[in-house]
Structure 1
Amino acid sequence: MKKSLFISVLSLFVFSIVFTSCSKDEAGDIETNNSTDLVFVEESKQVSQAEATSDGVVNMLETAYAEIEENAGRSNSLFPDCVTITISSENGVTFVTLDFGFGCTLQNGAVVSGIVNITYGPIQNGTRTITYTLENFTWNDIDVGGGATIFRELNNANGNPQSTVHVDLQLSFPGGLVLQKDGTRVREWIEGFHSGSWLDNVWLVTGNREVVSNTGYTHYGIVTEALRREATCPYFVSGIIEITRNGNQGTLDFGNGDCDNIAILTVNGVEYTIYLD
């Protein structure tokens, strides 16, 4: 009887040790996963802010080109009087300079400074290649360097203007964060392109991008549901990006059409709210 009791107590003791060990391991795994997810969330917020900035810059560049070349008789402009626009041509090549000085507020509320150089040749078979370079350029206190190349189609298969945009940009934030963004996006201009006003412009954006941080992380993103960008809103109003970071994946959902600074990041089945500014 004593022997049986001793074995039972010993078995219970061993079970308790094993159970406690497993519980600690599981708790450690949960804590590690949560920590990894939170890092993913913070980095995704940084990348999303860079995304909003770079898309705002590209939107401005495309609008500048459209106002110069495609919107004859426009009723209003994105660019106020604080922008000095210089246009010249030589041997069929057009050179445009947008000089924002030390600070200029666009009609959409973005505060920019510095210089943008735009170069393009003649239209060939309904297409044109446009090159942009930035000099000492800032967008809402974020330094933006580099440039973009745009392959412009006057009419795509849907009869809409479309741009295939390759960006190579470096974004430097006030706190010291530096993000290098490289990617290709297709922007279909679906509304407002013949209205003569920038206010009703709407684009659908697809494609991919890679963002590398000076803090050591890399984010790769591909659009799985077209991003909708409206000219009067500084953020995407809908669409989904699938994000990959160090083998981990998540999705970033920009909503159902409302203009707000919120996106929902889903990682391992958990939803996190991302504020885009």
Structure 2
Amino acid sequence: MKTTKMILGLALAFTIWSCSKEDGENSTLSEAKINAKIDAIADDVSDIVEKEYYEAANLAGRNAQTQELALPDCVTVTVTGDLSSWTRTLVFANCTMPNGNVLDGTIIISGSTDFDAPTQTINYSFVNFHHNNILVEGNRSMVRTLQSTAALATIHPVANVAFDMQLTFPNGNTYHRVGNRVREMIAGFNTPLLWLDNVFSITGSWTTTFPSGTRTSTITTPLVAEATCPYLVSGVITVVGPNNTATLDYGNGDCDNQATLTVNGTTTTIFLGN
């Protein structure tokens, strides 16, 4: 009888452990999808901010970039400023962007009119701004420089983005993210009148507070974003949580909506998108 109880006890313990392990992996999978959505918000906003910086430079008589990826007609842009600074206020009215993401609300972007300065600081904030129905709040800044880096010896644009933002999903869950991303234009910078050939390498790290706890993410293989693709085409993010370490791999350079998530040796394909 004692032996039978011991076997039943071990079986029950194994079942509970297996369910707990499975629940943990499912939770990590869900969190990876949430992280991917937040990353997509960061990339879309960075694209818009850099576009508006180039527009401000063009208005000042600089030969900057012409953006083929133009904003939809449903975006209202108001330009204000003085001799020392510029501000561009963008109001999105449930606008579908070229990559299919839907934006609503206001982004306010500002910077210095000294476009010849070696370093440019661009500030931007959100007013009732939604990305695919996700409310985005907080302030961010982008420091742009022209420099040589380990990623590319040739002088090229580098944007260091610092952020402290809160995101509220349609189900009411909130996520707080603090950190920085360094976004380097590693191709296309020699063709300032052509935006579609631009390629970006992205590094950085950040901490995201989920309802269930805090996760730390580090880009362990630089992410690669191409102007012609709505998804990241390659790179790896390693996410460390209280119970698991996971890796999210965006692939080998193909433009697709798939990434692979590996947790505890188990790899799962996840699909990215709205």
- Same fold, judged at TM 0.5 (above): yes
What's the CA shift for 1:139?
A: 1.9
Contact 1:129 1:152 survives alignment (8 Å): yes
What's the CA shift for 1:247?
A: 4.1
Give the direction of change, closer, same or farther, for the CA distance of 1:195–1:125 in structure 2 (3 Å limit): closer
Give the direction of change, closer, same or farther, for the CA distance of 1:23–1:99 in structure 2 (3 Å limit): closer
CA deviations over 1:44-85 (Å, ceiling 9, x no partner)? 222222222222222221222134326547263422333333
| Secondary structure of the corresponding residue to residue 107 of structure 2 | strand
CA deviations over 1:120-169 (Å, ceiling 9, x no partner)? 12357511111011112122222222231011102334311001001222
Contact 1:154 1:162 survives alignment (8 Å): yes
Contact 1:77 1:197 survives alignment (8 Å): no
- Residue type of the partner of 2:178? D
Whether 2:86 is the aligned partner of 1:98: answer no
Contact 1:50 1:179 survives alignment (8 Å): no
What's the CA shift for 1:180?
A: 1.7
| Secondary structure of the corresponding residue to residue 156 of structure 2 | coil
Contact 1:252 1:265 survives alignment (8 Å): yes
- Residue type of the partner of 1:114? G
* Partner of residue 202, structure 2: 205
Whether 2:223 is the aligned partner of 1:227: answer yes
Whether 2:79 is the aligned partner of 1:87: answer yes
Whether 2:111 is the aligned partner of 1:120: answer yes
Report percent identity of matched pairs.
36
Whether 2:22 is the aligned partner of 1:34: answer yes
Give the direction of change, closer, same or farther, for the CA distance of 1:82–1:32 in structure 2 (3 Å limit): closer
Whether 2:47 is the aligned partner of 1:59: answer yes
Whether 2:141 is the aligned partner of 1:149: answer yes
CA deviations over 1:237-274 (Å, ceiling 9, x no partner)? 11001101114211111111122222111111011222
Structure 1's unaligned 5+ residue stretches are 1-12
For residues 37 and 136 of structure 2, the distance between their equivalents in structure 1, rounded to whole angstroms, comes to 13
Whether 2:125 is the aligned partner of 1:129: answer no
TM-score (norm 2): 0.85
Range with greater deviation from structure 2 (47-56 or 77-86): 77-86
Contact 1:179 1:212 survives alignment (8 Å): yes
Give the direction of change, closer, same or farther, for the CA distance of 1:247–1:203 in structure 2 (3 Å limit): same
For residues 76 and 128 of structure 2, the distance between their equivalents in structure 1, rounded to whole angstroms, comes to 15
* Partner of residue 186, structure 1: 182
Give the direction of change, closer, same or farther, for the CA distance of 1:116–1:153 in structure 2 (3 Å limit): same
* Partner of residue 43, structure 1: 31
Structure 2's unaligned 5+ residue stretches are none
CA deviations over 1:215-257 (Å, ceiling 9, x no partner)? 3332210000000111232221110011011142111111111
For residues 34 and 112 of structure 1, the distance between their equivalents in structure 2, rounded to whole angstroms, comes to 35
For residues 7 and 73 of structure 2, the distance between their equivalents in structure 1, rounded to whole angstroms, comes to 72
- Residue type of the partner of 2:135? D
Contact 1:103 1:112 survives alignment (8 Å): yes
Whether 2:126 is the aligned partner of 1:138: answer no
Contact 1:78 1:108 survives alignment (8 Å): no
| Secondary structure of the corresponding residue to residue 161 of structure 1 | strand
Give the direction of change, closer, same or farther, for the CA distance of 1:78–1:192 in structure 2 (3 Å limit): farther
Give the direction of change, closer, same or farther, for the CA distance of 1:141–1:28 in structure 2 (3 Å limit): closer
Range with greater deviation from structure 2 (159-168 or 227-236): 227-236
* Partner of residue 242, structure 1: 238
* Partner of residue 162, structure 2: 166
For residues 67 and 27 of structure 2, the distance between their equivalents in structure 1, rounded to whole angstroms, comes to 47
Contact 2:65 2:192 survives alignment (8 Å): no
